[in-house]
């Protein structure tokens, strides 16, 4: 080897450029090919179909460039560093270690994977409209016990990876695992359907399964499994290293449902909002919050004024008294509002009633001044340093936490040296860099775009308020209001405002005018664009949008791209990446459309989850082991960093317009449909192959029969 190093080829600068240029070009083009559809589609839909200008277009454009650049680095890093590292450990582990050690390693790795790529923030976003009186258990899991939720998901993933390793070791089929797990999960879900508290967390539990497996975990676990499978098992066995992702999507559902069942006894039943805050229920309701002050804070920020009064024993005076106390007593204030000295005042302006504001500020004059001061600084600039630091931490944490145990095992337990060190380290660096850039890009570009389209989307079937274009007009004078008349003789009021460089007529609504502060809050409205309010045509547009969005976003998903390439590699090209991607993307599209239907018509989740999973059991039985492993695994990888924020933005946009409590469940449905589509494709391909093979035998048999005559 040393001899070889001595004979290293010297590459001149121009030669290096000649090598690098096509290399970089190919990879960038590859990523552009994977994201162009979803981006152009979102832009097209917002500007042409919905007819709304894209806000912050320049920032979004920068974000999209960053997404492409980040994805390029990330994917290249996966193939150079992370996956070879995982495969190496997979190859060496069974040779130099015993099963119990491998299982411990698997448990730790699975657990760390969950901590490294925390899906919990995503779920908290999905559940931000969840309130403690309608869904106490769900509220508890998402706020006070969110860390326990993460640990239970982590335990689920750990158990799953360990079972995956046992399975490879003994060459077991994936099918029995699927039957048992799906059967168990469906029974639990149906049981949960009849308990008001458990019902609320089924969506969360199934979504946990869908989001746990992120873009770093999936390739790593795949590579590890492939490495192990190459070394163990007999030559004839069909296992190739897939299937762990499936288990890692199913086990967390189980652990979260069990956690819910365990906590069930300690939470109150769902009740009316006002009852929830009454003193007689205080003993059970207070357990949902960190402490007494936590509950006060929640009451002030999130509850209606009636509930706030109910919390203070039904007496408005006591509430006002309490607020006055807060504004005077600093230690009490920090206990409730935190360290920011202005937090109470800001709350009063944003959430308080007039009386509450008065009690905080002391005089009407101070209130007026404060209002104009706090409400003019609405627009926020992009905080670049914060953005950089936050996303770098995310990237380093995700990759560091996952590769650290691998390195430890490799150096300490297996006592192996790292082959091609420079390549693997460069790969890991690319992954971290890529993930950082990519997350910034998502935040600046895709998230923003998704949120804009998502919140405007319901305008296709109902009237919505465009909160993005909400304005506070200060010093509003009611004398400006003019009147007009409709053909039906109804008298209407409006006024002119100068927005940008145009004079725009705006309908006048008395309720939006605050005579004390002389402010007019104006929120432009839009829709319904297709047909009348709530018409099927408009909803159909939304469903179609959801389908195409799911399809496009899936094609851009990095974990699925990695899975597709791995499948193509291991099947020697007989199962092409493009076929897998198309099948999965169509499945996700259908799933997301169904998920939107769930929100629009408020269909119980179990009705949408049970039938496809029940249908999957016979289909799984009919399919070959190869397709079962690939099909079920693709379900786990579909919901990644591109799909999830878009789906949530859309789900929440529609949910808030039609008044649905939580946006859970769409991701779970989007995970089950691709299994169906991939297995269906698999059955068709296999049938054709078998037919081609038996066709010649059939004709030959007929020939020999004729020969006999």
**Contacts to another protein by CB under 8 A:** 1, 3-4, 7-9, 11, 16, 19-20, 22-23, 80, 91-92, 94-95, 230-236, 419, 422-423, 426, 569-574, 576, 688-690, 692-693, 695-697, 699-700
What minimum distance in Å lies between the beta carbon of 571 and another protein? 7
The alpha helices in 489-624, defined as continuous H runs, are 536-556, 558-570, 577-601, 605-622
| Smallest separation (angstroms) from another protein to the CB of 568 | 10
Which residues pair with residue 465 across a beta bridge? 525
DSSP codes of every residue in 547-584? HHHHHHHHHH-HHHHHHHHHHHHHTTTSS-HHHHHHHH
Question: Which residue number, 321 or 574, has a Cβ lying nearer to another protein?
Answer: 574
Of 4 and 386, nearer to another protein (C-beta) is: 4
Q: Are the beta carbons of 580 and 633 closer than 8 angstroms?
A: no
- What is the smallest separation between the CB atom of 587 and another protein, expressed in angstroms? 21
Handedness of CA 284, 286, 287, 289 (dihedral sign): positive
Closest to 164 (Cα-Cα) out of 558, 629, 638, 673: 629
CA-based torsion, 36, 117, 178, 234: positive or negative: positive
Question: Which residue lies nearer to another protein by CB, 201 or 424?
Answer: 424
Pick 91 or 253: Cβ nearer another protein = 91
User: How far apart are the C-alpha atoms of 263 and 140, rounded to whole Å?
Assistant: 9
Q: Are 400 and 216 in contact (CB under 8 A)?
A: no
User: Which is nearer to another protein, 7 or 511 (by Cβ)?
Assistant: 7
Residues in the chain: 709
Name the nearest CA neighbour of 212 among 139, 159, 135, 145: 159
Taking the complex as a whole, the smallest distance from the CB of residue 9 to another protein amounts, in Å, to 5
The CB-of-3 to another protein minimum distance in angstroms stands at: 4
Is the Cβ of residue 422 or residue 488 nearer to another protein in the bound state? 422
Q: At closest approach, how far in Å is the CB of 439 from another protein?
A: 24
Rounded least distance, CB 612 to another protein, Å: 28
Which lies closer to another protein via its Cβ, residue 187 or residue 578? 578
CA proximity to 466, closest of 538, 533, 522, 519: 522
CA end-to-end distance (rounded Å), the chain = 70
Given the complex with another protein, which of 7 and 498 has the nearer CB atom?
7
Dihedral sign for Cα atoms in the order 305, 307, 309, 314 = positive
Whole-angstrom distance, CA of residue 622 vs CA of residue 602? 34
Shortest gap between Cβ of 303 and another protein (angstroms)? 58
Residue 230 CB, shortest distance to another protein, in Å, is: 5
- Nearer to another protein by Cβ, of 65 and 425: the residue is 425
CA gap 433, 388 in Å, rounded: 11
Say whether 514 sits in a helix, a strand or coil.
Answer: strand
């Amino acid at each position: 080897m040393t001899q070889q190093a001595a004979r290293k080829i010297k590459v001149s600068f121009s030669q290096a450029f000649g090598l690098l240029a096509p290399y970089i070009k190919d990879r960038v083009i590859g990523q552009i090919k994977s994201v162009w559809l979803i981006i152009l589609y979102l832009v097209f839909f917002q500007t042409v179909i919905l007819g709304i200008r894209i806000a912050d277009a320049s920032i979004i454009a920068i974000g999209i460039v960053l997404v492409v650049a980040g994805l390029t680095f990330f994917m290249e890093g996966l193939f150079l560093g992370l996956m070879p590292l995982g495969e190496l450990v997979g190859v060496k582990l069974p040779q130099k270690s015993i099963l119990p050690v491998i299982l411990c390693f698997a448990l730790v790795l699975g657990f760390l994977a969950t901590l490294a790529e925390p899906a919990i923030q995503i779920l908290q976003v999905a559940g931000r409209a969840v309130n403690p009186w309608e869904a106490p258990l769900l509220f508890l899991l998402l706020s006070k016990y969110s860390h326990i939720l993460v640990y239970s998901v982590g335990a689920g993933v750990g158990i799953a990876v360990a079972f995956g390793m046992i399975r490879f070791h003994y060459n077991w089929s994936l099918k029995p695992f699927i039957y048992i797990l799906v059967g168990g999960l469906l029974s639990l879900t149906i049981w949960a359907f009849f308990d008001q508290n458990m019902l609320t967390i089924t969506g969360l539990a199934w979504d946990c399964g869908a989001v746990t497996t992120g873009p770093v975990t999936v390739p790593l676990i795949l590579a590890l499994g492939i490495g192990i499978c190459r070394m163990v098992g007999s030559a004839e066995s069909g296992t190739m290293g897939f299937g762990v992702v499936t288990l890692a999507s199913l086990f967390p559902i189980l652990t979260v449902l069990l956690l819910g069942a365990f906590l069930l006894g300690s939470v109150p039943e769902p009740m009316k909002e006002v009852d929830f805050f009454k003193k007689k229920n205080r003993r059970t309701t207070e357990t949902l919050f960190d402490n007494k002050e936590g509950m006060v804070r929640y009451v002030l920020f999130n509850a209606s004024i009636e509930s706030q009064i109910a919390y203070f024993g039904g007496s408005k005076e006591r509430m006002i008294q309490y607020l006055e106390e807060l504004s005077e007593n600093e230690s009490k204030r920090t206990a409730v509002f935190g360290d920011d000295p202005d937090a109470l005042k800001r709350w009063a302006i944003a959430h308080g009633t007039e009386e509450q504001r008065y009690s905080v500020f002391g005089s009407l004059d101070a209130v007026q001044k404060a209002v104009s001061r706090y409400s003019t600084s609405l627009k926020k600039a992009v905080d670049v340093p914060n953005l950089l630091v936050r996303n770098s931490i995310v990237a380093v944490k995700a990759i560091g936490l996952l590769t650290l145990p691998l390195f430890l095992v490799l150096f300490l337990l297996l006592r192996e040296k790292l082959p091609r060190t420079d390549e693997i380290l460069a790969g890991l660096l690319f992954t971290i860099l890529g993930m950082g850039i990519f997350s910034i890009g998502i935040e600046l570009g895709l998230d923003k775009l998704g949120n804009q389209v998502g919140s405007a989307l319901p305008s296709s079937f109902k009237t919505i308020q465009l909160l993005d274009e909400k304005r506070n007009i200060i010093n509003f004078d009611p004398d400006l209001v003019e009147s007009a008349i409709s053909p039906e003789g109804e008298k209407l009021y409006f006024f002119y405002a100068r927005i940008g460089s145009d004079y725009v007529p705006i309908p006048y609504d008395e309720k939006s005018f605050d005579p004390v502060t002389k402010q007019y809050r104006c929120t432009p409205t839009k829709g319904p664009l297709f047909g009348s309010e709530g018409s099927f045509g408009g909803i159909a547009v939304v469903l179609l949008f959801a389908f195409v969005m799911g399809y496009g976003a899936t094609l851009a998903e990095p974990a699925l791209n990695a899975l597709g390439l791995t499948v193509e590699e291991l099947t020697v090209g007989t199962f092409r990446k493009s076929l897998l991607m198309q099948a999965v993307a169509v499945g996700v599209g259908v799933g997301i459309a169904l998920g939107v239907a769930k929100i629009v018509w408020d269909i119980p989740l179990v009705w949408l989850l049970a039938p496809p999973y029940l249908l999957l059991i016979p289909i799984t039985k009919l399919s070959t082991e190869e397709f079962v492993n690939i099909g079920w695994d693709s379900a786990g990888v579909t919901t990644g960093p591109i799909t999830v924020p878009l789906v949530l933005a859309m789900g929440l946009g529609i949910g808030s317009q039609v008044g649905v409590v939580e946006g859970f469940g769409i991701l779970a449905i989007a995970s089950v449909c691709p299994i169906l589509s991939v297995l269906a494709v698999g059955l068709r391909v296999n049938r054709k192959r078998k037919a081609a093979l038996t066709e010649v035998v059939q004709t030959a048999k007929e020939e020999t029969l004729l020969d006999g005559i």
